Amino acid sequence: MTDINESDLYKLFKKSEEAESVYTIGTTVDTGLEWQAVDECKEKVDTTLHVVKERGKIYFNIRLDQFSKVKEMRSIDNIFLVSDVRQFNFSEDDGETDLTLLKNAIEKDLRLEKGLEAWKAMTGFRGKLYPKQEEFKDADKLLKAEKNQPPEDAVVGDVRKGRKRGRDPSLSSEEDILKYRVTCERTGSHAFESGQVARVIGGELQDKYFWLVDLTMYHLEVICNLVQNELATCLRITHESKHRRNIIHFGPTTLRATVCYSLLRLANPKPGDIIIDPMCGGGSIPIEAAIAFPDTYVLCGDNHEKAVARTKLNIDAQSINHKTELITWSVAKLPLKDSYVDIVVTDMPFGKRSGSMTDNRVLYKRYITELARVAKLGTGRLVLLTYDRRSIQMALQSASNLFKVIKMLGVNMGGLHTAVYVLKRTKLPYNP
């Protein structure tokens, strides 16, 4: 027993442990957009779901038959199954004692079987979860010999580009022995390193289950999430991040599909709505809009020739039929009628990777004025993402009677602290 407070995740996991067919799912989410993921989760999986929200993550309990609904979620990135949560009384100054504590606990009573069966069902792994010791020894010899051979190009390409994590478990054969790796993500002050935790837990799991260690082409990644004195042992379900789903031709400022979805959600699209992205870059927002909200009409454009060409290639690469119009235009003068558009969702030039802060002051003002003209009076919604808060605030000040700020969120975009503004067009007519 410990003298530590039980975390919300700990309590959630204990509930799943009490029920035979209930599992705790964790997902990574773009930091700052967690509430969009919580709302989507309730909408798609179960309205009564209790969702635990942490920075950049959400957790909830489901039955196995609800997993297909989790896979349909568009605001989440990686999915994992929480297989164990426990707390420790670490000394905090004696690393060896603390690691022994960890080792003994794992050896004595870490039981991953319930989670492993669910992992197998969720990923479609067809190989052996519990090989015999002899099978392990033979396969281990083979694997070590293989590792001494030069790797095949295609395989190395996949892993080094960081697009895929390990290998797709559903492509395994019945003869395959489970290949795994253990990683540790650690928050708080400890007298040991993350790598030591991964090695201790990895060693104990091998002694218990006879799995093969493979740091690159693993079927299963066991993620040990140690926050202060609480260890959550998670099994990765997704071997490929969901944020890369739509785009084939990436540009310098391509937005993650998960962020695009959450931005669109903030605008609350309804069937029949006209959605535009007037600065579409490579088309990530309009493509996500057309896929996730197929009952809407999507229009997009950019003033940069290369961006328009990239959007066209990305739209053409989609397998579904899009109602997406692409036009070369400048946001200073959009070829649209007054009060025509229901929703504008834009990722504006940050003035860092694209544009400059000085240009932005002029550009943002002209853009906001033009949006005041094309957005529907009284109902038009705008969701604008930018790093350049000063320029957008100046632009909004100059149009303060034309837009009402509904919400402002801080979103972390690859280390940049960006802002998302949700605005509603007032009823005041536009007078140039």
Q: Cα dist. 403→70, 123, 369, 382, 430 in Å?
A: 36, 47, 10, 9, 11
286 binds ligand SAM (CB under 6 A): no
26 binds ligand SAM (CB under 6 A): no
Strand order in the sheet with 212-213: 52-54, 57-63, 22-29, 76-87, 230-236, 220-227, 179-187, 212-213
Report the residue number, 122 or 348, with the smaller CB distance to ligand SAM.
348
Stretch of 104-112, 139-147, 233-241, 275-283 lying at the interface with ligand SAM (CB under 6 A): 275-283
Q: Which CB atom, from 117 or from 325, has the smaller least distance to ligand SAM?
A: 325
- Residue 424 corresponds to which amino acid? K
Helix (H, G, I), strand (E, B) or coil at 330: strand
CA angle 30, 31, 36 (to 5 degrees): 65
Piece in contact with ligand SAM (CB under 6 A), picked from 286-294, 324-332, 395-403, 411-419? 324-332
Dist. CA 221–CA 269, nearest whole Å: 37
The β-bridge relationship of strands 52-54 and 57-63 is: antiparallel
* Number of C-beta neighbours around residue 416 at 10 A: 11
DSSP codes of every residue in 242-285: GGGSS-SS--TTPPPHHHHHHHHHHT---TT-EEEESS-TTTHH
Among 184, 255, 345, 423, interactor with ligand SAM by CB under 6 A? 255
Q: For ligand SAM, which residue has the nearest CB?
A: 281
Binding range to ligand SAM, per CB under 6 A, among 3-11, 54-62, 296-304, 336-344:
296-304
| Residues of span 362-401 touching ligand SAM by CB under 6 A | 363
Q: Which is nearer to ligand SAM, 253 or 391 (CB)?
A: 253
Per CB under 6 A, the list member of 194, 206, 228, 354 interacting with ligand SAM is 354
Name the minimum Å distance from CB 27 to ligand SAM: 22
How many chain residues touch ligand SAM (CB under 6 A)? 23
Minimum gap (Å) between residue 251 Cβ and ligand SAM: 5
DSSP assignment letter at 65: G
251 forms part of the interface with ligand SAM (CB under 6 A): yes
E strand or H helix that includes residue 27: strand 22-29
390 CA to centre of own chain:
28
Please report which helix (H) or strand (E) contains residue 363, including its range.
helix 357-374
Minimum Å gap between C-beta 205 and ligand SAM is 40
Nearer to ligand SAM, 166 or 281 (CB): 281
Which one among 45, 70, 307, 413 touches ligand SAM, defined by CB under 6 A?
Answer: 307
Identity at 294, one-letter amino acid code: P
284 touching ligand SAM, by CB under 6 A:
yes
According to CB under 6 A, which one of 51, 184, 299, 331 is a site residue for ligand SAM? Answer: 331
Task: Give whichever of 115 and 355 is closer to ligand SAM, judged by the CB atom.
Answer: 355
**Nearer of residues 232 and 384 to ligand SAM, judged by Cβ:** 384
Cα 109 from Cα 17, distance rounded (Å) = 14
Query: Near ligand SAM by CB under 6 A, which window of 42-50, 85-93, 130-138, 252-260?
Result: 252-260
CB of 279 to ligand SAM, least distance (A): 3
Out of 28, 196, 253, 391, the only residue in the binding site for ligand SAM (CB under 6 A) is 253
Other beta carbons within 10 angstroms of residue 369's beta carbon come to 17
Whole-number Å distance between alpha carbons of 407 and 409: 7
Task: By CB under 6 A, name the binding residues for ligand SAM.
Answer: 251, 253-255, 278-282, 284-285, 302-304, 307, 330-332, 347, 349, 354-355, 363
